[in-house]
Every structure is written in C-alpha cells, then in structure tokens.
Amino acid sequence: MKLKLAVLPGDGIGPEIVEQALNVVKTVVTKFNHDLHYSYGSVGAAAIDKCGDPYPEETHQLCLNADAVLFGAIGDPKYDNDPKAKVRPEQGLLRMRQQLGLYANIRPVITFPSLLDKSPLKREIIEGVNFVSVRELTGGIYFGKPQGRSEDGKTAYDSCVYHESEIKRILKIGFELAMQRDKKLMVVDKANVLATSRLWRETAQDMKDQYPEVKLEFMFVDNAAMQMIQWPKQFDVIVTENMFGDILTDESSVISGSLGLLPSASVGEKTSLFEPIHGSYPQVAGQNVANPIATILSAAMMLENAFGLKQEAEIVRKAIEESIKKEYVTKDIANGETYYTTSEVGEWICNYIRSRNVEV
C-alpha cells in the first residue's frame, strides 16, 4: 500500500516527538512492505517566524494532497505573553481545523496496568477504564460570531453558535462508535442553562430511533467533570461540544497518569489529522526528554483509521505496552531513578517492531 503523509512538527517539543513517531511509521511500513511518502510543512509559531502566517497556504495544500496528517503541537510563550500580538500560533490550529473540515476530535482513554500507580486517582477507580471522547471541533464559542471587545477595551464578548447540521454529524460519529463498542452514548451538555445545549439534546433524542441498540444518556458538564474522576468506568462513548470537550478531554488525561500517553484523531470532510493531546511544552523543547508515546499512539491510530492497517497498528501498540511494562520510558512515567530519553524510547519501540515475526 502507498501511504502519503503530511508531517507538521509544529512548535516546542513537536519536532522531537513527531520524529520518533515518524521513525516508528517508517519501521512498520518497511516491515510490512508498504510504500511511504511524506513531506514536511510549517504551522504555528514556527510558521509565523518563517512567513508571518501560522497556517500558510503551502501547508494547507500539502495537507489536502496527503492521505493523512501527522501533527505535533502548537504554542510559543513569546506569543502567549504578548497580549497585543495580532497573529498567534493557535490561530493556525483553528484555521487548519476549519479549512480541512476537521469537525470531530476522537480521544481514546485507557489505562496501562503497570502505570496505575502513576495516576493521582486510586487504582480501584481507574483499573480497566476504556472510553472514547468525541469532541466537536469546528463550531461553538471558539468560532462563534460576533466576537470582540468594546471600543474602550473594558468589555469583551464571545458567541456560542451551533447549527443542527453541525450537531447531527458529530452525533452520528458518536452513535456509530457506540455501536462498535458497548452501545452506550453519553451526551454532555449544559441544557439547563444554554440554548445551544438544548438544541444538542433535542437533536440527539431525534436521532435515537436510528440507533435503537444504543443506550442514550445525558449529563450536565459540571456533573460529568465530577463523575469522570469519581467513576470513570461508567463511560463508553462521550460526545460533547467544542469548549466542554476541550476541558473534559484534558481532565481525562489524569486517569492514565500522564498527558504524554493519550493520542487523538481529528476527522471530517477532507484529510484526517493525528496528534497527541498535549501541548508544545516549550520549557523542555530541544532537551530530548519529552514523552513520545502519545504521538506514537496517534501514529498507530493513523495506520488503522486512515489506512485500514489494523495489524500494523496493533504491533505498534504492543511495542508501546512492552516498553511501559519493561519500564523503558521517559522520566514523567518512570517508577524509579532509571529513565530514558525521547529518542531512546522511540528507538526501543522501533527495535521491538523489527524483532517481531509477522505474516505479511
């Protein structure tokens, strides 16, 4: 099979973690006799520094012409700390989602047996957790108009806007994922306060008859934030709007014990994009200490979801499980004084894949 990738390392630790994920992909496609083609593009602060645009047209065309996008992270403190900056790295991420039609962010949350004690939550609460969050990605308050500030700058306003068509397409993904899993769908909203949430709830109820096997439930977002920590094993598939999803999916990262362990896929109308859920972590950029596992797991999602390569994805996941089990990991999830660099962990995973006997 021919695999055509757009590779967007981005900012901070992005280049380091994407390098390891790409090395793993190269190792897998070589082992299974696939044909890999990839090209690099600039995005975020790196793109602003290069051409003044956080999502250049050249990068957009690169993504459109690819079968999938492997993405690192966006963000740089020199823009975060400048309130008067007219162009920010995050604007590139929002434009990329919008222009590529990436309206659904899918984030699986699982626990690794050997890392249960790394989570701040009790072992009995998180052992066996396995759910998927589906976050709407191109609507809501992050994109709503009008948005701005008053002339004197002392009043600011944002608008949360959702159309029924936007809600239907994201709920369709949630229902279909639930059908593939335990047939439970939780719609998270704030329908007791927000008109947009009431539209979400009405739309989900209208669609329920199309999926009679799925148990549909609703939960207010504040309750969901509490329940996710107290009883995470109750969830199977969660679907929610943009801002609620942004917050809840980051909250869910504490279940596994580290932001560096959770992958994600953003899918929609055009090319699909695969990325770790964490940010650019500029404080350690270039130090070869960042955890590459979330990015490598994102690459595994890419192999399976974008190309249908289930066996290839499974061998990557198995390699990661073994690296964690044997404690060949970076400092953030190490149990003792022994830990390894970003590149050492990546190379261990590649070597594990090379050593496996598989039928091609």
Eight-class DSSP state of 146: S
Q: Is residue 197 packed enough to be buried (19+ CB in 10 Å), middle (13-18) or exposed (0-12)?
A: buried
- How many whole angstroms separate alpha carbon 127 and alpha carbon 143? 37
Which is the catalytic residue, given 184, 246, 270, 318?
A: 246
Which is the catalytic residue, given 250, 331, 332, 339?
A: 250
Amino acid at 113: P
Mode of pairing for the β-strands spanning 68-73 and 272-276: parallel
Which is the catalytic residue, given 11, 190, 211, 236?
A: 190
- How many whole angstroms separate alpha carbon 110 and alpha carbon 96? 28
Instruction: With CA atoms as reference, report the closest residue to 18 among 69, 64, 61, 79.
Output: 69
**Catalytic site residue 142?**
yes
Which is the catalytic residue, given 222, 310, 325, 326?
A: 222
Q: What is the DSSP string of 62-126?
A: HHHTSSEEEEEE---HHHHT-TT-SS-HHHHHHHHHHHHT--EEEEEEE--GGGGGGSSS-HHHH
Is the bond into 146 cis (omega within 30 degrees of 0)? Answer: yes
Q: Which residues of 309-338 are buried (b: 16+ CB within 10 A; e: fewer)?
A: beebbebbbebbeebbeeebbbebbeeeee
**Catalytic site residue 76?**
no
Strand partners, 84: none
Q: Tell me which H or E stretch contains 40.
A: strand 35-40
Instruction: With CA atoms as reference, report the closest residue to 183 among 239, 107, 237, 105.
Output: 237
* N- to C-terminal Cα separation, the chain: 12
**Catalytic site residue 82?**
no
Which is the catalytic residue, given 55, 142, 162, 352?
A: 142
Eight-class DSSP state of 304: H
- Sign for the CA dihedral angle at 7, 8, 14, 15 comes to positive
Catalytic site residues?
Answer: 142, 190, 222, 246, 250
